Amino acid sequence: MFQQEVQTMMNVKHQNIVGFIGYCSHTEQEAVKMTRKHVFADDRERLLCFEYISKGSLEDHVTDELRGLEWHIRFQIIKGICQGLHHLHKEKSIIHMDLKPANILLNDDLVPKITDFGISRSGETSETMSEVRMYSPQYCAPEYKLNGRMSFMSDIYSLGVIIKEMVTGSTEEPNVDRVHRRWRHRWKNAKHMSLVYQQQVTKCLELAQRCTNLEPTERPDILVIIRELNEMDSTPDISNASISTVEQQRNSFLEDMLGIEPLDLHFTAEHNKQTSGSIKLTNDTDDYIAFWVSAPSRLPLCVHPNKDVVPPRSSCRVTVTLEAVKKPLQKKHCTEKFCVQSTRVDKGVASKHITGDMFKEEAGKDVDMVNLMVSVHAPKQLLIVDPLELRYRTIELNKPSPCLIQLTNMTDDYVAFTFVLPQQGNVLYYHVAMGTGIMPPWSTRGVVVDIVVKEEAITEMMQCKDTCIVRSVVVDKGLRNDDVRVEFFDDRIGVHEMELDIMSPFLIETELLHIYPAELHVSSEGGANEYISLANKTDDDVVYAINYYDRRGEDEGFSRVSHDKGVLRPQSTCAVPVLCENKRHYQVGVMMISGSRRYRTADGFFDNYTCDKREELMSQVRAEGGKAHEALLACVVRTSPHPDCKQHQVG
């Protein structure tokens, strides 16, 4: 492919083909050890050098009709691509075979230049078959994709898809009336030029349809395409008399659409700060127009109103709100696409009458769909914090358990920082060594945050939603670490804050209860109580039971030995003792139900509960619209050291 591209590029020179400056090819042999001997392998370095193209690829500039490049620029780009393809087909007999927007570059003057000739073929192989096929699916001619047949008409098919994309912003089959309406809306302040442009749009859509004909012989030659485009590339005085009858008929019923401004909104996701922006919907027609805004769900964005009716010759405002962000964005930049649908309605229709069915396309009914782009940017962070949460993998009672946080200063400034930890408790508290200081430019350091948990703290850990705040601010170079304290940040301007969640370890989360810990440690002596914490995060009562199962035999499964039961109120937590016994091969399960009309108490359900009826009773609860779930806890036996074992100190 390298030699093929070099040979092609050395033979072509045209203003619409990327300029080829030179190449570099260097090969060295390296001895590589195989199973029984050394084999000399070629180590190749190959480089191609092209002219610098400043505006990137055409792919970066493709947009719909309402935004982006003006029509006259798009039309000249289409003509330039055709001129470059004419040079390849008619003067150099080259089939490009991978024509697409990503392989068309734009210079400072937005002149298109075709590039990437890695899979190009000589026209002498026209109508030949290819066993090995490389192509871009959306732009590839069907006869090559299916049968490997290649010809100049393969490039014409790709050109047709590109023309369609330049006119509409999409490779899909367009709704022609909608395309014209959207362009007319954009041109309504330039009525004289819009007549010329409208004919050019019509011609381009017609050419795109002919170029993408499934039968290669029905596609137009590149000379025909250029001739027809040149006929449209003029700006004489145009009156309605010179416009075709079809165009005049289209103009008579193509009413203006609902105006939307702006088409792009930009937000910065500030920590714990809500931000808003608005779009203006303008109805310049004599009809009532209903609209519906379909909002995405990945980001905390709220639209109000998301549906309404805009009366004739009036406008309304729609507010888009970015809710306060509790955690930093995982990406520096996120873009969501809102769809604003609109259609004409009768005078008496109100907001409450608007449904999604009103915007279904039907014969004789115009429905416009406009994409509103909402971009959310992460605020500039002085420090990169990793990870974004404090997660303690293991916790030993009454001993500090560490979690490492890495801070990175990727700026040219000195940055002071401090860790603001949760309020200390009697049974659960945090400690951080070197939690305040100054980071020089382009530096990294680790901060260890310890948690100390006493035996009584299990319930407190389940109830709390602890967070740790990392505060940072730019400071002068000469400031000392001793000068930075927690209160130092209170009166400073430009303080950044990042909130880190503190996660409980080994937590089982079900749809009804959160259970901590997920692992029970059983003494080898047995007979002792362990405590587990149950947290009801729902808005309904949860009936629960702690079941102890005993294996009756190798193939007989488990039988229930006994259970403790109770009811946990909404949004509450309790600590429950669990009897640990190592003399049996037992298992501990937490059975829970909620929303059952029949079983509102623990006694009502669990007095009838046996292993044999377990699935039957759970199905019964679900059939009544309730929920039923069982969590099984892992049990680990701690063995005491043998009395004969002696500890040896290594000196």
**Structure letter (DSSP) for residue 324:** P
Q: Please determine, for residue 456, whether its predicted confidence score (pLDDT) is greater than 60.
A: no
CB 158 within 8 A of CB 141: yes
The runs of H, that is alpha helices, within 254-404 are: none
Lowest mean pLDDT across 5-9, 18-22, 601-605: 601-605
**Structure letter (DSSP) for residue 144:** H
Residue 416 has phi, psi (to 5 degrees) of -90, 145
**In this predicted model, what pLDDT tens digit does every residue of 470-526 receive, in sequence order?**
999 999 998 988 888 888 898 888 888 888 877 765 567 788 888 877 667 665 555
Neighbours of 189 (CB within 10 A): 7
Lowest mean pLDDT across 13-22, 105-114, 174-183, 185-194: 185-194
Share of the chain above pLDDT 90, in %: 32
d(CA 234, CA 239): 14
More confident residue, 174 or 596: 174
**In this predicted model, what pLDDT tens digit does every residue of 437-455 receive, in sequence order?**
999 999 999 999 888 776 5
Top mean-pLDDT range of 116-125, 362-371, 393-402, 609-618: 362-371
d(CA 224, CA 230): 10
Say if 569 falls within a structural domain: yes
Residues 75 and 127 reside in one and the same domain = yes
3-state DSSP assignment of residue 323: coil
The number of C-alpha atoms within 13 Å of 217 and in the hemisphere containing its C-beta is: 1
Sheet holding 264-268, edge to edge: 264-268, 367-377, 333-345, 288-294, 307-310
Q: Please determine, for residue 581, whether its predicted confidence score (pLDDT) is greater than 70.
A: no
d(CA 462, CA 518): 13
Q: What is the mean pLDDT of residues 121-133?
A: 61
Share of the chain above pLDDT 70, in %: 78
Instruction: Check residue 230 and give its pLDDT.
Output: 93
Q: CA-CA distances (angstroms) from residue 180 to 65, 83, 607, 609?
A: 9, 26, 72, 69
- Sign for the pseudo-dihedral over CA of 483, 484, 490, 492: positive
Say if 432 falls within a structural domain: yes
d(CA 527, CA 586): 13
CB 545 within 8 A of CB 532: no
CATH number for the domain that contains residue 369: 2.60.40.10
Cα 569 from chain centroid (whole Å): 38
Question: Where do the DSSP E strands lie in 34-135?
Answer: 38-50, 94-95, 104-106, 112-114, 121-122, 128-129
Closest-CA residue to 232 (of 183, 178, 193, 177): 193
Residues 114 and 40 reside in one and the same domain = no
3-state DSSP assignment of residue 418: strand
Q: Please determine, for residue 359, whether its predicted confidence score (pLDDT) is greater than 80.
A: yes
Residues 72 and 18 reside in one and the same domain = no
d(CA 168, CA 472): 47
Confidence of residue 648 (pLDDT cuts 50, 70, 90): very low
The number of C-alpha atoms within 13 Å of 196 and in the hemisphere containing its C-beta is: 16
Neighbours of 358 (CB within 10 A): 16
* First-residue to last-residue Cα distance in the chain: 67
For the stretch 615-630, what's the b/e string if a residue is b when 16 or more beta carbons lie within 10 angstroms of its beta carbon?
eebbebbeeeebbbbe
Residues 405 and 546 reside in one and the same domain = no
Say if 426 falls within a structural domain: yes
Residue 94 has phi, psi (to 5 degrees) of -120, 130
**In this predicted model, what pLDDT tens digit does every residue of 214-259 receive, in sequence order?**
999 999 999 999 999 999 876 554 444 445 554 554 454 456 789 9
Q: What is the mean pLDDT of residues 45-71?
A: 91
CB 336 within 8 A of CB 269: no
Residues 111 and 231 reside in one and the same domain = yes
DSSP, residue by residue, 539-553: SS-EEEEEEEEEE-S
d(CA 270, CA 272): 6
d(CA 650, CA 642): 20
Residues 422 and 280 reside in one and the same domain = no
d(CA 512, CA 630): 10
Closest-CA residue to 282 (of 252, 261, 296): 261
Residues 83 and 210 reside in one and the same domain = yes
Say if 606 falls within a structural domain: yes
* Last residue of one domain, picked from the residues 377, 402, 426: 377
Say if 558 falls within a structural domain: yes
Lowest mean pLDDT across 17-21, 179-183, 432-436: 432-436
Q: Please determine, for residue 365, whether its predicted confidence score (pLDDT) is greater than 70.
A: yes
Neighbours of 131 (CB within 10 A): 5
Instruction: Check residue 255 and give its pLDDT.
Output: 65
Q: How many domains does the chain have?
A: 5
Say if 253 falls within a structural domain: no
The pair of three-digit structure tokens given for residue 549, joined into one six-digit string? 């199962």
Residue 633 has phi, psi (to 5 degrees) of -100, 135
CATH number for the domain that contains residue 140: 1.10.510.10
Mean pLDDT of the chain: 81
The number of C-alpha atoms within 13 Å of 150 and in the hemisphere containing its C-beta is: 23
Instruction: Check residue 455 and give its pLDDT.
Output: 55
Instruction: Check residue 445 and give its pLDDT.
Output: 92
d(CA 592, CA 618): 10
Say if 651 falls within a structural domain: no
Residues 232 and 317 reside in one and the same domain = no
Residues 221 and 79 reside in one and the same domain = yes
Instruction: Check residue 139 and give its pLDDT.
Output: 94
More confident residue, 156 or 44: 156
* Last residue of one domain, picked from the residues 202, 218, 245: 245
Q: Please determine, for residue 14, whether its predicted confidence score (pLDDT) is greater than 60.
A: yes
Residues 108 and 216 reside in one and the same domain = yes
- 3-state SS string over 210-249? HHCCCCHHHCCCHHHHHHHHHHHCCCCCCCHHHCCHHHHH
Residues 193 and 65 reside in one and the same domain = yes
CB 124 within 8 A of CB 38: no
Whether the ω angle into residue 577 lies within 30 degrees of 0, i.e. cis, is no
* Last residue of one domain, picked from the residues 331, 346, 377: 377
Domain extent for 399: 383-503
Which residues are within 8 A (CB) of 367 and not within 5 positions of it... i.e. 6 or more apart? Answer: 341, 342, 343, 359, 360, 361
More confident residue, 296 or 126: 296
Say if 323 falls within a structural domain: yes
Instruction: Check residue 589 and give its pLDDT.
Output: 79
Lowest mean pLDDT across 188-197, 234-243, 295-304, 331-340: 234-243
Residues 370 and 470 reside in one and the same domain = no
More confident residue, 57 or 44: 57
Q: Are strands 112-114 and 275-283 parallel, antiparallel or unpaired?
A: unpaired
